[in-house]
Structure 1
Amino acid sequence: MRHLILGSASPRRRELLERLGIKDPEIRPANIDEPHPEEVAPQDMALFLARRKSNALRAGLSAGDLLLTADTVVLLDDEILDKPVSEEEARDHLHRLSGRSHRVITGVVLTDGTQTIERSVETEVSFAPLTEEMITYYISHFQVMDKAGGYGIQDWIGLAAVERINGSYTNVMGLPTAEVYSALSHFL
């Protein structure tokens, strides 16, 4: 296996790679601004941001390196629900998601500096209606600020309130592992 660099500080992405059998990927976050330009459609934003991360890190690649970058967005009625910056915003996100379906899109870029493979994966997630008590419990007991849309499907909220998903579960966690595994096979 080639030396894999994960251009992300996400502990969930690292865990998913390790569960795929990729032990100890090098963690090298891109630390870039993540703008949402108006000319980029909301459904294309995840891949746009994954490309920006890849481009920021590509110059640091050595022979034999593989760079994997990803970004995940949550779309409700074609509006991006970013990572909340406050408890109020997290609460607002969860109220808006309550009893509704939304889309989770992850853009993935894998490159060795010469060859690049890009994927965009979409999953539909349907929430049951959330009570105020459920929202308060979730926000007070789990880290919501580092998650697109203000929730993690692998957390309590996923067990208690996600009624249905259509598509990749790991995509909702932030890395569509089947697609990543397929892309990695092109570089072996």
Structure 2
Amino acid sequence: MSGAATSPASAPALVLASTSPRRRELLARIGLVPARLAAPDIDETPLKGERPRDYVARLAEGKARAVSRASDEVVLAGDTTVAAGRRILEKPVDEADLRDMLALLSGRRHRVWSGICVIGRDDRVRVRIVDTIVAFKVLSAEEIDAYVACGEGMGKAGGYAIQGRAETFVRFLSGSHSNVVGLPLFETRALLTSVGVPLG
């Protein structure tokens, strides 16, 4: 007499350690809707002399660890920053700061760094680092003023949103476009697949 069939293990529920609409929209592109959102509360101040890649890796892991997780849940966290050389460009504090950032990025290449962290049901921490090279055209004072006035750059790392008007500033991009938006989808998909999250 054959034994009873074993039911397959249920798929883990995804917790997104972010309230960013951009990250939710990006996850939807790969058929994922988080079971719940959680806003991690961590200090995002760069450490003295910290390199951009180390900064995003530290913050991504810190955000993932800061969120409570049930035994049947997987946590996904990410952090994205813009760097001119080794200088980390955080979110502008005001319009003057935004103008300075755009003037710094005008006519030059910069890097967009993301750290992605997944903590699976096995409690193992998995981190990936992704960087994209972006080059802006030379921006006139009028273009900078108009971009500042539209308000799009406030609240964005590096002071711009590539998914908005700032895309017209980009003359060259090498690497992941979704990384610049806020979540590199190729690497995120691979990480989530590795911990058993079903994709649409």
Shift of residue 132, structure 1, vs aligned partner: 1.4
TM-score, structure 1 as length reference: 0.93
The percent of aligned pairs where both chains have the same amino acid is 38
Q: Name the larger-Rg structure.
A: 2
Aligned counterpart, 1:3: 13
Pick aligned residue for 2:178 from 170, 175, 187: 170
Pick aligned residue for 2:136 from 127, 132, 139: 127
Deviations 1:90-132 (A, max 9, x none): 1110010000000000000001251221100000000001111
Q: After TM superposition, list the pairs within 5 Å mapping 1:51-70 onto structure 2.
A: 51-57=61-67, 60-70=68-78
Aligned counterpart, 1:85: 93
Shift of residue 133, structure 1, vs aligned partner: 1.5
Runs of 4+ in 1 over 4 A off after TM superposition: none
Residue aligned with 2:148, SS = helix
Letter of the 1:71 counterpart: D
* Structure 1: unaligned runs, 5 residues or longer: none
C-alpha change, 1:185 and 1:24, in structure 2 (3 Å) is closer
* Structure 2: unaligned runs, 5 residues or longer: 1-10
Letter of the 2:30 counterpart: L
Pick aligned residue for 2:146 from 117, 137, 151: 137
Letter of the 2:13 counterpart: H
Residue aligned with 1:30, SS = coil
Contact 2:24 2:33 (C-alpha < 8 Å) held by counterparts: no
Shift of residue 38, structure 1, vs aligned partner: 2.0
Contact 2:16 2:34 (C-alpha < 8 Å) held by counterparts: no
Partners of 1:108 and 1:24 in 2: how far apart?
Answer: 16
Shift of residue 39, structure 1, vs aligned partner: 5.6
